[in-house]
Structure formats: structure tokens, C-alpha cells
Structure 1
């Protein structure tokens, strides 16, 4: 067996990336004789990123602090590539890991490619087959996959997407989703919310629905329809309370305030930290969202999710009946949510769905694959296989 240490650089910049990649950082750090772990953050998000890092007790080695007001995709990409180019030139890592589909992931992958350094893409192979939904994520993840040497696909469907597109099967590893690892680590039975407003709200004797909505492709009339449906559901069901941590986007806030304020059981609160969000979902009756990541997290806690989007790059959740794709039509959202609230059999079927995304071991598999590649262990791990 080889004993020379290898330098592994992890590059990320947003809160969702941080929550999903930090379990991998923690796992790598368990093997200091094998790996020198370098954490580089771009600061694509600022306060939210720092919160996520602190939740996992991780200090970055470098923070590019790129975030600025009204930042554009072009600015982020060019600034990140420029900053990362200098760091990678100085550090010369043996492997670079990026996650998902952000501008940071694209920038990290491209810069690693420019330097001919092997790249591992965590969460490879997700596809909606619509380049504008989700936008720009659908194209971002394709770009990262193209330049990657290790394609860490969370599920067999992700692997099939990659094989269909011509990727070499020997470079694809089905690991499960690291978001499941993070959610399992974060959920606590005796959790005390950092946002004291939630501590008060969860004492409500009725059922709680957690809402999130932020996607750019839903701005305008789609979001109006979503929020109108939510208000109708609350007005028709006197035991229901809504908790909605409202995204900081001025567009989202304007629509939410116009439609959802003024009802004593609709609680619009500021964005909350990741542990609060995970534990709020665990205590909710169901979830209404247009999020990507929540599709992976809700099944961990057996909570039905009504997905207010036209497409999803995570069809496993639909197939498993853990998520129902409603689109953004007001009537459809209202109908599906009402059925979950009034039909016990329908609710039971969704809440008993198996989790198609992971078993809490994804980070361990990824690190073992890396250890195998560098000759530290003799065998690859068994792939994740959903029930």
C-alpha cells in the first residue's frame, strides 16, 4: 500500500453546497495520514455560507469573498476562475472536488481542467432535460460532468443519465446523496431552534406546513399562483399553520408580502440556518417547495413534499412517491395539498415512501473511492442501492 499523503482540495461557495460537501470534508479529515485536506470557498454566498461552515465546525483555508450586491452570473464565474487559478497554481492539489451545479462548481471544475488536475464531481448526472429549468443549474452540471474524472452519481438514475450521454461507466460511482448524510447528522429529537420564533410556532396544536419558494424561473405569475394556492389552503383548513422562511430576493419578498401577509396562521419569517430548516421539516406535516435540495431531505423524515416546479432533475423522488410534482398552477397545488390534508390513505402512501437518495453513507463511499484511487485501500465500496 502507498503511504504518501495526497492533497485533496474541496471548492464550494454557497450554503447548499456547504451543507452537502461538509460531511465529505469531515470524512476526509478522519484520515490525516492519507490526505491533506484543503477547503477553498469562493464566498458566492456570504453570511449563509459562514453559518453552514460553522454548523459543521469547518474553517476554510481560503475565502475569496466574491459576493457583492446584484452580482451577475458572468461576474461570479469570471471572478471565481481568476481567484481559483491563482490558488490552484500555488497549491497544486492531487485531486479537486466540487459539488453540484453552482457557478462555483463550474468555475472550480473548469479551473482544475485548465491545470490538468483530476476532478471529482459530487452529485453528478442529475438532469431535467430542459436547459432553462432549473436555470442555470441544468447546464452548469453538464459542464462540470464533462470535465470530471470521477463522477459521483447519487443514484442509479443519475448513472444511467451519464451512460446515455456517453460517459465511461468505469468513471461513474453510485454513492448515494451526501445531503442525506447531512440531514441525518443534523436532525435532533430535542432540538432547540436558534430562531426563537419557531420555538413558539411549533407549539401550535394543529398541523404545520413548511414552505420555501425562491426559483428565478418561478418569478412573476407562477409565484403568484403558488402563493394564492397556499393562502386558500390555510383559509380552508383552520388547523393548518404555515411557516415560510422568505428568501432574501426582493422579487420573492414583494410577491410574498402582497399575497401572504395579514393572516394569523401564515408566518413569514427571515431565512433560517440549515439546522433550523432540517429540524423544522422533521416537525412538519408536509412541505410545499420549489427547491432542489428539499426533494432529497424531506424523504429522510418521511414528509410528503409538493414540488411547485414544472420539471425536476430528481425523478427518483417522484417514482418513489415521496414527492408530488404539482407544477406552478394554482388549482393543481391547491388540489394536491388539500388531498394530502384530507385523505389519510393518500398521505400515508407518500409518508411511507422509501428514501431513494441515500442511506447516510455517501460521504464514506466517496472517501473510500478516493482512497482506492490513490492506493490506500484494496477495494472499492459497494455502490448505494435504493430499496
Structure 2
């Protein structure tokens, strides 16, 4: 008798973190994963899935231009519910804290299909940081039956909220599986089309968070621009410009024509992994990069006041600098002026995973008790 799993994918980060799980499930005797692409971020999610050789079994289109936040959620629940309600699924697997993940969880609950939440238990303690993700992840916890915690700290949050330990195994974060899988497949040509200087230190900058938009983001970008211009002979800050028009306008206004800055189009995952492997440090407000960069030995400055991923901070590889210009400049200068660790750019011991998380997830879905991930 097979275990049928509805795998809900809506955004690029979800695609990256769920693709390794799909691979493992497809290799399992008795497992039947069915991949639903919701269309929340249609092209970016499809591109990421294709990088891993995963083709969606069902394609929805909830991310229509007319769908605002409530319309997106309503369409997601309705369209996923119509599929899940007739699919005889044993599990609905959702990842993280997106609108697609919440829609999948609510659709599964409405049809009495058990919900498994991958990357469960992340908490910032502030419902406005990040917004609306902190609301989403807590709502998913309320309806999920299996809580796949990435770290012991995430599990502790779940236990504190009343989830039983047997229902909240620590499996690690599947993004480390994806990162190492992709890194092994690089051929050294991934960065050629970007035209980056080969004789300068590469720094990756990404920013897009809703709570930083406006004056906070402009101040952060100005700080990076000042450091980049002052060290243009030795430094190249690579900035993939986010497609959100509010963000892209701020980035181009603040960073265009700044010596030491290279604005590039959004990077596919393969190119991003190559850039991380060749880089010296990361400045970001992204959640995923807080997990990926430490696994390759890169120090990270986080442009946020709070993080739901404190493990990297505790391990010493991640520093919260918010959007304060002085803190950002000090952080960049300190890292650049320090000797680079020999492990930078290579697979390192990570507080977030060991590359085996997807196998543990499959074990849990198949009714086997998974081994617990324990950071070194």
C-alpha cells in the first residue's frame, strides 16, 4: 500500500527546499509524491524545480495579478482543496511560511488529510518581523499533525506550544541537502555570463523584506554603497535586483553607477550557489541565505532587527546589524579586514543541517521514526 503525499510548492525557496524531498520520496518503495505548483511565483518556482529535474504533476495559477494577499490565500485554499479533496492523499506536505504553505495546510485540514509542516517551529517572537510570515507559521502549526523541525531550538518552540515530542522530530533543514546537491554539479562556468571582475573580493548583497522597504532600506543601501565606493579597487558587491518594483527602484536609485557595485538580474539557484562558493561574505535580509551561507563557511550580516534563525548567530557566523548604516559599515569592514577562514566556499559543519534531512523527512512520512539531527 503506497503513501500518497501532496507536495505543495509556491515560491522559489519552497521549490529549493522541497525538491530534495521529492527526489528521496520518488526513490522510496511505496511512496507516491504528487507535486502541486500553486503558481504563487510561477516562473521562479518552475525554474527552481527544473534545476533539480522536478516537473510538477499539477499546475495551479493562484498568483494572478489581480490577487492581493487575501485573494491569493482564498484562491490557494479553493484550488488546492479541490485537488486534495478527491486525491486520496495520506499527507499534505507544506514548507515554511508562505501563503501557499498556509493555503495547503488549510486545504488539508478542511478535507481531514494530515498536514506535515517542513521547517516547523521557527519563531521570531514578533508577529510584525517578519510579516506576515510569523502569523503564517503559527497558523500552520495549529493544524499540522507532523512538525518537521529543522533544529533543536525550533523543536523547543513547538514543545513549549504544546506539540508532543513524538510529533516534532528534529530532521535538519533540507536547504543544506539542496545546497550540497547543487554544488557538486557546478562546472565552473556559472558566473561567466555576469562579467564579474576576477581580481576582486566578491560580496553578495540581497534585500527585499517588506518591513525594510522605504527609508530603512535606503539607509542600508547607502551604507553598502559608501563601503563599496571606498574599496572599489579590491571589492565587488554583487546585487541581484529583486523584481518587486518598490525594491528594484530603491536598489537602482541607490546603487547604480557606484564603483565596486555590480547590479545583476535575479540569479537562478545554480548561479547563486556558484556565487556563494566564490564569495567572501553575504549581506542580506533573506531567511534562506542565513542558512546556506554558514554551510559554506561564509560570514553573514543580516539586515534585520530580529531573526527566527538564531542558531547561526549563536554559532558566530551570523551577525544582526539591522538597517543602521554605521553597524552595516562596521560589519563589512571588520569581515573584509579579517583573514578569511580556509573553509570559506566549501561544505562546512552547519547548525542547520548535515545533508540528510530529506531522508529523515521521508522516514517520518512513511511511518518510520527518523534519526534526530544534532548539530555538531
| TM-score, normalisation: structure 1 | 0.93
For 2:341 and 2:219, the matched residues in 1 are separated by: 27
SS of 2:148's equivalent in the other structure is: strand
Note the 1:5-154 alignment, pairs <5 A.
5-31=2-28, 33-69=29-65, 71-154=67-150
For 2:7 and 2:370, the matched residues in 1 are separated by: 21
Identify the residue that residue 298 of structure 2 maps to in structure 1. 303
Note the 1:179-190 alignment, pairs <5 A.
179-188=175-184, 190=187
Alpha-carbon shift at residue 89 of structure 1 (Å):
1.5
Identify the residue that residue 239 of structure 1 maps to in structure 2. 234
Alpha-carbon shift at residue 68 of structure 1 (Å):
2.1
Query: Would the alpha carbon gap of residues 70 and 232 (structure 1) be closer, same or farther in structure 2, given more than 3 Å must change?
Result: farther
Identify the residue that residue 216 of structure 1 maps to in structure 2. 210
SS of 1:90's equivalent in the other structure is: coil
For 2:250 and 2:296, the matched residues in 1 are separated by: 30
Structure 1 portions without partners, runs of 5+: none
Is the 1:322–1:354 Cα contact (8 Å) retained in structure 2?
A: no
Alpha-carbon shift at residue 318 of structure 1 (Å):
0.3
Is the 2:229–2:259 Cα contact (8 Å) retained in structure 1?
A: no
Note the 1:346-361 alignment, pairs <5 A.
348=341, 354-361=349-356
Identify the residue that residue 222 of structure 2 maps to in structure 1. 228
Is the 1:320–1:354 Cα contact (8 Å) retained in structure 2?
A: no
2:199 is equivalent to residue 205 of structure 1: yes
Identify the residue that residue 165 of structure 1 maps to in structure 2. 161
1:328 to 305, 308, 323: 323
For 2:35 and 2:67, the matched residues in 1 are separated by: 23
Is the 1:178–1:362 Cα contact (8 Å) retained in structure 2?
A: yes
Identify the residue that residue 372 of structure 2 maps to in structure 1. 383
Identify the residue that residue 264 of structure 2 maps to in structure 1. 269
Deviations 1:85-124 (A, max 9, x none): 1101221201111000000000000110111111110000
Is the 1:46–1:65 Cα contact (8 Å) retained in structure 2?
A: yes
Alpha-carbon shift at residue 70 of structure 1 (Å):
6.0
Deviations 1:264-283 (A, max 9, x none): 42111111111111111111
| TM-score, normalisation: structure 2 | 0.95
SS of 1:205's equivalent in the other structure is: coil
Alpha-carbon shift at residue 145 of structure 1 (Å):
1.0
1:279 to 274, 279, 303: 274
Of 319-328 and 69-78, more deviation after overlay is shown by 69-78
For 1:166 and 1:265, the matched residues in 2 are separated by: 50
Runs (4 or more) in structure 1 with deviation over 6 Å come to: none
Is the 1:304–1:350 Cα contact (8 Å) retained in structure 2?
A: no
